[in-house]
Amino acid sequence: MISTMNRIFFIFVILLVFLRCNKKTTKSSYIYKNGNMQIEFKLLNQNKYIKYNEKTYSLFILKNIDPTFSFIGPGIKFIKRSNDTIYTTIFVKKEYVNQDTLNIKLIIKNKLVHIFKIPLLPPHYNTQLPQE
Span 21-63, pLDDT tens digits: 444 434 678 999 999 999 999 999 888 899 999 999 999 999 9
Q: Where are the beta strands (DSSP E) in the chain?
A: 29-34, 37-43, 50-51, 56-63, 70-72, 76-82, 85-90, 101-108, 111-121
Of 29, 40, 88, 87, the residue nearest 63 (C-alpha): 40
Higher pLDDT, 39 or 129: 39
User: Residue 51: which of 100, 18, 11, 86 has the closest Cα?
Assistant: 100
For 2-14, how does the pLDDT look when each residue is reduced to its tens digit (9 = 90+)? 577 667 666 655 6
- Do 107 and 70 form a contact (C-beta atoms < 8 A)? yes
Beta bridge partners of 88: 58, 78
Phi, psi of 44 (to 5 degrees): -85, 0
Assigned fold of 27-121: Immunoglobulin-like (2.60.40)
